[in-house]
Amino acid sequence: MRDGQRAWGCLGILVGILAVIGLLAWRGPRLFSPGPLSAQQVRGIPLGGVSSHAQLEDECRACHVPLQTQGRLCLRCHQDIWKELQQPEALHARLTEPLNCRACHPDHRGRDADLLQLAREQFDHEVTAFSLQKHAFRYDLTAMVCEDCHDRWPVDDRAPLLERCYQCHFQADPAFMTQHVQAFHPRCLECHDGTGQLTAFDHTQTAFPLEGKHQQVACEACHRQGRFQGISTACQACHQEPSVHQGLFASSCEDCHTPQGWTPALWQGQPFDHARQTGFSLARHRQDPDTGEAITCIQCHTSGDFNAFQLRTCRQCHRRRNPDFMNRHLVRYGANCLQCHDGADRMQGFDHAQVFPLEGAHSALKCAACHPQYRFRGTPNACRACHEEPEFHRGLFGQQCQYCHSPQAWASAALRLHPFPLEHGAAAPSECALCHLGNRYERYTCYGCHEHRPGDILRLHQAAGITPVQLPQCAACHPTGRVSSP
């Protein structure tokens, strides 16, 4: 009995072994496969002698070898990818793990599996030379898709179609795109990287860094017709020499000027301000009034030495325009022009407020209005010297105009100054007619209030040394209205 059981047991084991051997012979490697391989063909081009992964389904060692990186086995067939990895700027060479092929192209997912689907879905476009930072949305604010720039994978070679760049941007701004292509060229990716900046380009690394005002200049202003090689960096290639110093200085503009601005110019390494550093402003000496041409530096600095200046240059120039005036002027004031003039039509070191403050309407007057023929000495400062007394108050108010009028304007008039106290003898200001009889404001009398016995008053004042002529001028001795006025 036991011998029979042993026999049947051995027979069962043998049958099991034969069944496994038969299964292995029938199914082979597919017995351990996690799923069918894809039959997808890329552009119909055989790689490694096969047209798809499905043809390798019974050759596991083609992709799986112990202790070997699977990605390196992929490269035995995918020679195009191997060549791409030798180029640092190529797509696969930019990936963090370029040999981890199955992270983007997993297989064993069936005959119809798309080996590029996962790559498209999780692809980070930032690893390419073109960022989608400015290309996430179309101009109509709908999301962009791969097919907006590329033919659908796997038909193309991943390169964008440049004509689609132009078509899209032309529809948004045809005038700009037409001018842009004419100024440069239609090869967009040679200049643009999708971030709004030029592709991997830093102008500061060139022989001509863009600083100051140059940063505001359009590219095509210097790079006409898209030409970037052989562009002159000499200032005179773009900037015409000003007539004010044409032929006077060397062509090394950078000795005096900086990209921050044409002015202020530099002189001996410091910003130059003619008015501040020489004491003479060029405000009135920029243009020849006769010819309309710019006054050049050498017209005043005739020797070419800008640290030297000869006063006869002033006299010669101004004498040509008005010889009679200049002759009289030189006789009256002397030949040292800079002693009085600062070039801004002001007297050098002269403060008019110390002589006659120019306030209100007076401040807008030209010098010649008060100083005809430029006569300054002996100019009267009384109002009547310039202002004729109006007929309607002629003989009524006297000549002390400032009592009622101000330099701000002639009208409206108001009593601004009254030397004698208006509330004299009363709690409130007295009526004008009480002192100024007959509305004659240039005269006054105190006898409208004070007792008047002429004989007694005359004797009393004569004893104090007051003459009959001085007697009517009460305010001269009593300016505050008191007997004991100081």
| Torsion angles phi and psi, residue 460, rounded to 5 | -60, -45
Q: What pLDDT shows up at residue 156?
A: 46
392, 417, 442 - which closes a domain: 417
Q: Are both 378 and 306 inside the same structural domain?
A: no
Helix count and strand count (H, E) for the chain:
15, 2
User: Is 439 part of any domain?
Assistant: yes
CA 201 to chain CA mean position, Å: 23
Q: Are both 71 and 84 inside the same structural domain?
A: yes
Q: Are both 406 and 339 inside the same structural domain?
A: no
Domain count, the chain: 5
Is residue 54 pLDDT above 50, yes or no? yes
User: Is 17 part of any domain?
Assistant: no
Q: Looking at residues 323-333, what average pLDDT do you find?
A: 86
Per-residue confidence at 100, pLDDT binned at 50, 70, 90?
Answer: very high
User: Is 217 part of any domain?
Assistant: yes
For the ranges 19-33, 268-282, 365-379, 422-436, the lowest mean pLDDT is seen at 19-33
Q: Residue 304 and residue 297: Cα distance in Å, rounded?
A: 8
For the ranges 50-54, 125-129, 158-162, 289-293, the lowest mean pLDDT is seen at 158-162
Is residue 154 pLDDT above 60, yes or no? no
Cis amide prior to 412 (ω within 30 degrees): yes
Give the range of the structural domain holding residue 387, as residue numbers without chain letter: 360-417
Is residue 460 pLDDT above 50, yes or no? yes
pTM recorded for the entire structure = 0.37
The pLDDT tens digits for 419-455 are: 788 777 666 677 777 788 776 777 788 887 877 787 8
Q: Which residues pair with 143 in a beta bridge?
A: 137
- Helix axis angle for 162-172 and 174-183, nearest 10°, is 130
User: What integer best gives the mean pLDDT of the chain?
Assistant: 81
Q: What pLDDT shows up at residue 18?
A: 64
Exposure of 61 in the CB half-sphere (CA atoms within 13 A): 1
Q: Looking at residues 449-471, what average pLDDT do you find?
A: 83
Q: Are both 343 and 373 inside the same structural domain?
A: no
Q: Which of 53, 49, 22, 61 is nearest to 36 (CA)?
A: 53
Is residue 2 pLDDT above 60, yes or no? no
Retrieve residue 372's tokens: 């005809």
Q: What pLDDT shows up at residue 8?
A: 65
Q: Are both 365 and 338 inside the same structural domain?
A: no
Q: Residue 180 and residue 184: Cα distance in Å, rounded?
A: 6
322, 349, 376 - which closes a domain: 349
Q: Are both 400 and 463 inside the same structural domain?
A: no
Is residue 331 pLDDT above 80, yes or no? yes
Q: Looking at residues 396-408, what average pLDDT do you find?
A: 79
Torsion angle defined by CA atoms of residues 437, 440, 445 and 448, in that order, rounded to the nearest 10 degrees: 20
User: Is 366 part of any domain?
Assistant: yes
Q: Are both 88 and 152 inside the same structural domain?
A: no
Q: Looking at residues 280-296, what average pLDDT do you find?
A: 84
Q: Looking at residues 336-350, what average pLDDT do you find?
A: 77
Q: What pLDDT shows up at residue 69?
A: 83
Q: Are both 367 and 395 inside the same structural domain?
A: yes
User: Is 11 part of any domain?
Assistant: no
User: Is 119 part of any domain?
Assistant: no
Residue 239 burial (10 A CB sphere; 0-12, 13-18, 19+): exposed
Q: What pLDDT shows up at residue 169?
A: 92
Share of the chain above pLDDT 90, in %: 6
82, 113, 144 - which closes a domain: 113
| Torsion angles phi and psi, residue 270, rounded to 5 | -120, 145
Q: What pLDDT shows up at residue 435?
A: 83
Q: Are both 165 and 99 inside the same structural domain?
A: no
Is residue 476 pLDDT above 60, yes or no? yes
Chain position carrying tokens 């000795």: 255
Q: Are both 435 and 412 inside the same structural domain?
A: no
Q: Residue 122 and residue 100: Cα distance in Å, rounded?
A: 14
Q: Between the CA of residue 296 and those of 304, 421, 440, 455, what are the distances in Å?
A: 11, 64, 64, 83
In this structure, what DSSP letter does residue 176 have? H
The pLDDT tens digits for 221-251 are: 888 776 777 888 888 888 887 777 766 677 7
Query: How many beta carbons lie within 10 A of that of residue 223, not counting itself?
Result: 14
User: Is 16 part of any domain?
Assistant: no
Q: What pLDDT shows up at residue 352?
A: 85
User: Is 325 part of any domain?
Assistant: yes
For the ranges 262-266, 278-282, 414-418, the lowest mean pLDDT is seen at 414-418
Is residue 153 pLDDT above 60, yes or no? no
CA 481 to chain CA mean position, Å: 69
Q: What pLDDT shows up at residue 155?
A: 44
Q: Are both 394 and 462 inside the same structural domain?
A: no
The pLDDT tens digits for 60-98 are: 888 888 888 888 999 999 988 899 899 888 888 888 899
The pLDDT tens digits for 171-206 are: 999 998 888 888 778 888 888 888 876 666 788 888
Higher pLDDT, 371 or 78: 78
What three-state secondary structure class fits 243?
Answer: helix
Q: Are both 310 and 252 inside the same structural domain?
A: yes
Q: Are 140 and 132 in contact (CB under 8 A)?
A: no
